[in-house]
Amino acid sequence: MADLIHLPLIEEAVQACLDRGFYAHFPESPKAYGEEAPAQGEAGFFRMLDRPFDLMQEKEDGLAGEESSPYTGKALGIQYPTFTPEKLVSRAEAARPAWASSPFASRADFLVESLERMKALFFTIAHATMHTTGQSFLMSFQASGPHAADRALEAIAMGYHQLGMFPSRVTWEKPAGKSSIRLQKTFVPVPRGVSLAIGCSTFPVWNTLPGVYASLITGNPVIVKPHPTAILPIALIVREIRKTLQEHGHHPDICQLAVDTRENPVTKSLCEHPDVKLIDFTGSSAFGDYVESLPGKTTFTEKAGINAVILDSVEDPAPVFQNLAFSLSLYSGQMCTAPQNIFVPETGIPTSRGQLRYEEILSMLREALKTLALHPKMGAGTLGAIQNQATLDRVRKARIEGKLLTDEIRVANPDYPEARTLSPVVLEVGAIDRQLFEKEWFGPVALVVKTRDTDESLDLARKLAESHGAITCAAYSRDLDTILAIEETMNEVFTPVSFNFTGPVWINQHAAFSDFHVTGGNPSGNASITDPEFIDKRFVWVGNRYMDNPQA
């Protein structure tokens, strides 16, 4: 076996997975990548506009591309090669045997090398993410660059650990009177087959890379199917993986990109292809349910969830509402981890300075949202831009369906006057208005739900997580018994709880190597990034036995 140049890093990452403390191999600060990197990355992005994208996939069937910037409103003009599902799958099948039979340690070393090369593209990927998703530049840089790379490294490390769980060969000897029975046994991790990774429009890299690298480390070829409106960020990474594969003597079709359009989608054809055995999906519950229903497929889904905030009591309310305002406003609520339903007792909540009345809670939340939105340095950068028209339409619908507590504020972006930017719309509803708060309002929409007390708040949050799914839950309480009751109740429906968050830590953020993203236990998704099952379901242990010296 060739020298494994990245083995120390891999072993360090494995230990980080087991320890669950803070660990980051890729620095999240843009300043860590050199003074020239920002300008080079931006120039690299603009060079790709209005021309064909060289994907290094030959003999395309056509060209397609319909991306446009939520900041400028203009089309990117990039055309990508397209291929029939049959051609993509047959190429993956042809490349599969050699990749599947390669030592997993060598695969891990190669895959880490591809991530190290990805660092040089972080700024270009950031601009590509910004102008396809509407994320701010800093979020685009961090989410699609170092944070996504760390999540991918986490998948590699977990795969390396799980694949090395058992010996590849062992002598088995059983005493049998004056003699013994001796067998030679081998244990082979056999990859399941062609893997399909279906990306979403809002986080085309962060949500996609873990599944891609989890399948690759376990020996499965991958077809990456991005959302038609957010292709470029993941296309850059797929091309880099293909280049690294080729330079290291592997077939580049181990990783392919499948591009389509909204009018002529190929996703279902790929999903239903009999040779596609693994499917990673991030997106709507409707399509996620379809993916999970497909016979003969092993699926890993992240779907919609309705995330709750339970207000019971607080020390100082000001930093609480500042934190909530930021969590609601970050990327205009276009995050699967963003809170939606804020459950507030009609009697208000106790604080260290006395009882805070219900009306005062509404006023403080309203003021915190307004202050953030109109902040000249923070407003536009926090909100980013709305990725697509459907989200804008959803906001318009919400405004007329409930009692408007806080209306949208159009926030001017000095760098991009045409940016689709809105502050969150907040509705005030009662506990009986289930038709409003029992569905996901993806985007800058939140609902304050007036309840009798904390017990009713918790009961509603639990029922929503159990029936509709939840990825996160925030809770504020000064009472230990209440905290323990909330934790136990929400954990029973497989929902993690973040308690008493204030300052620069928000419910939206999940840290690589420490936080499991989605639990896989409620309707928000059937998989968790990155637990052992996220790896183990991509291969099968097969044991073989050889008779050895039967007379001994």
Q: Tokens for 546, please give them.
A: 């050889």
Sheet strands (E) in 312-424: 341-345, 349-351, 354-356, 403-406
Q: Tokens for 351, please give them.
A: 């604080």
Task: Report how far apart, in Å, the C-alpha atoms of 43 and of each of 39, 48, 235 are.
Answer: 6, 9, 17
**Phi, psi dihedral angles at 331 (to 5 degrees):** 50, 35
- Gap between the Cα atoms of 275 and 96, Å rounded: 11
**Is 551 a residue whose pLDDT tops 80?**
no
Sheet strands (E) in 102-234: 169-176, 179-191, 194-198, 222-225
Task: Report how far apart, in Å, the C-alpha atoms of 348 and of each of 239, 313, 317, 436, 453 are.
Answer: 55, 9, 12, 22, 9
The whole-angstrom distance between residue 480's C-alpha and the CA centroid of its chain comes to: 32
The whole-angstrom distance between residue 103's C-alpha and the CA centroid of its chain comes to: 28
**Phi, psi dihedral angles at 238 (to 5 degrees):** -60, -40
Neighbour-count burial for 70-85, b at 16+ CB within 10 Å, e otherwise: bbeeeebebbbbbbeb
**Is 510 a residue whose pLDDT tops 80?**
yes
Give the amino acid at 384.
G
pTM of this structure: 0.96
459 CB contacts (<8 Å, ≥6 apart)?
A: none
389, exposed or middle or buried, with CB in 10 Å at 0-12, 13-18, 19+?
Answer: exposed
Neighbour-count burial for 359-385, b at 16+ CB within 10 Å, e otherwise: eebbebbbebbeebbeeeeebbebbbb
**Mean pLDDT, the chain, whole residue set:** 96
pLDDT-derived band at 550, boundaries 50, 70, 90:
very low
Question: CB–CB of 448/428 below 8 Å?
Answer: yes
pLDDT, residue 2, reads 59
- Gap between the Cα atoms of 87 and 80, Å rounded: 16
pLDDT tens readout for residues 355-406: 999 999 999 999 999 999 999 999 999 999 999 999 999 999 998 888 999 9
pLDDT tens readout for residues 129-160: 999 999 999 999 999 999 999 999 999 999 99
- Gap between the Cα atoms of 83 and 60, Å rounded: 5
321 closest CA partner among 311, 330, 331: 311
SS3 of the chain: helix, strand, coil, percent, to 5: 40, 20, 40
59 CB contacts (<8 Å, ≥6 apart)?
A: none
The whole-angstrom distance between residue 309's C-alpha and the CA centroid of its chain comes to: 21
Run of H or E residues at 311: strand 308-311
**Is 415 a residue whose pLDDT tops 90?**
yes
Q: Going from the N-terminus, what domains does the chain have, and what CATH number goes with each? A: 25-303+527-542 (3.40.605.10), 308-499 (3.40.309.10)
Helix axes 317-329, 358-373, angle to 10 degrees: 50
Task: Report how far apart, in Å, the C-alpha atoms of 498 and of each of 289, 330, 474, 493 are.
Answer: 27, 17, 5, 15
pLDDT tens readout for residues 79-135: 999 999 999 999 999 999 999 999 999 999 999 999 999 999 999 999 999 999 999
- Gap between the Cα atoms of 383 and 373, Å rounded: 8
Task: Report how far apart, in Å, the C-alpha atoms of 221 and of each of 93, 118, 242, 256 are.
Answer: 8, 19, 12, 8
pLDDT, residue 408, reads 87
CA dihedral 200, 201, 204, 208 (to 10 degrees): 0
Torsional sign, CA 485, 486, 489, 491: negative
- Gap between the Cα atoms of 307 and 289, Å rounded: 19
pLDDT-derived band at 549, boundaries 50, 70, 90:
low
- Gap between the Cα atoms of 257 and 80, Å rounded: 9
- Gap between the Cα atoms of 200 and 208, Å rounded: 8
Residues in the chain: 552
- Gap between the Cα atoms of 258 and 89, Å rounded: 10
216, exposed or middle or buried, with CB in 10 Å at 0-12, 13-18, 19+?
Answer: buried
Task: Report how far apart, in Å, the C-alpha atoms of 538 and of each of 67, 194, 196, 217, 298 are.
Answer: 32, 10, 12, 10, 8
**Phi, psi dihedral angles at 463 (to 5 degrees):** -65, -40
Q: What is the mean pLDDT of residues 27-37?
A: 96
pLDDT, residue 438, reads 95
**Phi, psi dihedral angles at 517 (to 5 degrees):** -95, 115
pLDDT tens readout for residues 278-329: 999 999 999 999 999 999 999 999 999 999 999 999 999 999 999 999 999 9
What is the side-by-side order of every strand in the sheet holding 169-176? 169-176, 179-191, 539-547
pLDDT tens readout for residues 215-247: 999 999 999 999 999 999 999 999 999 999 999
Q: Tokens for 237, please give them.
A: 């990474």
194 closest CA partner among 256, 106, 248: 256
369 closest CA partner among 470, 445, 420, 454: 445
**CB atoms near residue 480 (< 10 Å):** 8
pLDDT, residue 177, reads 87
- Gap between the Cα atoms of 183 and 174, Å rounded: 9
Q: What is the mean pLDDT of residues 395-419?
A: 90
**Is 494 a residue whose pLDDT tops 80?**
yes
